[in-house]
């Protein structure tokens, strides 16, 4: 049985899993095209509207509709419906994707605290200004619910790491003396739970795929989903071995070909990971448990 045959649907991260910047990650397009089950492509990037992401995926060769893209802005608007009546004024901070997601859910995006918003949705945008952050702080101080799309502190760019939305959230937090009331993106569960709702599949029957342990994999844990760590992005085998319990993947594979691989071929590596975690968790205090990687895991680093 292939790994993909164990599940009814997939929630797949994008950057580092499907593409790196503009080009596709090797084997990603062919593997996802052959999966044969519904897929939601979930990203913490709040600035790009789903249509832009969908167009990117189609350029790479994937046959996807824009509705298969799930952003943290959409998750924020979805989460907002559980706390704020539809039709309310909401201060939108971030790129165009934030305001668009709010309109889709029936909210009225506004740009200043003087518009009396009942909530603030703060996401990343390359053109966010100091005044935008100030307006968010003013609204929160006046009692508005504060919802962050995501709290990634950094944003990878061609030039290096830039401040991400988490850094901008910290700036507002410094003014108001606390953090946001709610967070929609990974590693919090709303983005994943929104995807499961869209798919019409219980979270336990969904496989979450990602390359980052502290966002993709931890988010899967929070949502009650199994997870696949692919070693095509941020984290590798050594990171997985050292991972805290809440950031440990169910499966590990070199790349997305693992989806189409027989479970028995993937199981030795996953079992080796579980043995390493068990040794670390049960080691007496002060005992150094570091040692060479088991053969099954070392093979994935080659």
State the catalytic residues.
Answer: 13, 15
Q: Which two tokens stand for residue 106?
A: 């029936």
**Closest of 72, 161, 86, 50 to residue 121, by C-alpha:** 72
String of DSSP letters for 93-142: ESSHHHHHHHHHTT-EEESSGGG--SEEEE---TT--HHHHHHHHHHHHT
Contact in structure between 78 and 198 (CB atoms under 8 Å) = no
Q: Phi and psi for 215 in degrees, rounded to 5?
A: -120, -70
Contact in structure between 31 and 257 (CB atoms under 8 Å) = yes
Q: Going by DSSP bridges, is the β-strand pair 154-157/160-163 parallel, antiparallel, or unpaired?
A: antiparallel
Q: Which two tokens stand for residue 215?
A: 């966002």
């Amino acid at each position: 049985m292939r790994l993909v045959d164990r599940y009814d649907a997939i929630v797949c991260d994008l950057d580092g899993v499907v593409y790196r910047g503009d080009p596709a990650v090797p084997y990603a397009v062919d593997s996802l095209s052959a999966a044969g089950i519904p897929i939601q492509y979930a990203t913490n990037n709040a600035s790009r509207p789903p249509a832009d992401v969908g167009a990117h995926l189609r350029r790479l060769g994937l046959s996807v509709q824009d509705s298969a893209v799930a952003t943290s802005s959409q998750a924020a608007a979805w989460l907002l419906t559980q706390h704020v009546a539809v039709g309310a004024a909401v201060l939108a901070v971030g790129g165009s994707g934030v305001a668009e997601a709010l309109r889709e859910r029936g909210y009225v995006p506004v740009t200043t605290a003087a518009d009396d918003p009942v909530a603030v949705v703060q996401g990343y945008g390359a053109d966010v200004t100091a005044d935008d952050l100030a307006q968010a702080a003013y609204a929160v101080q006046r009692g508005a619910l504060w919802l962050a799309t995501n709290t990634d502190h950094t944003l990878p760019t061609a030039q290096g790491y830039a401040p991400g939305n988490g850094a901008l959230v910290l700036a507002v937090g410094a003014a108001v003396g606390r953090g946001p009331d709610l967070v929609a993106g990974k590693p919090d569960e709303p983005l994943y739970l929104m995807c499961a709702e869209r798919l019409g599949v219980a979270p336990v029957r969904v496989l979450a795929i990602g390359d980052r342990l502290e966002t993709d994999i931890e988010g899967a844990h929070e949502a009650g989903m199994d997870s696949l760590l692919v070693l095509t992005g941020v984290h590798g085998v050594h990171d997985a071995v050292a991972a805290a319990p809440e950031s440990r993947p169910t499966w590990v594979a070199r790349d997305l070909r693992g989806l189409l691989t027989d479970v028995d071929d993937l199981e030795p590596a996953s079992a080796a990971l579980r043995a390493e975690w068990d040794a670390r968790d049960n080691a007496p205090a002060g005992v150094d448990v570091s040692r060479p990687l088991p053969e099954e895991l070392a093979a994935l680093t080659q």
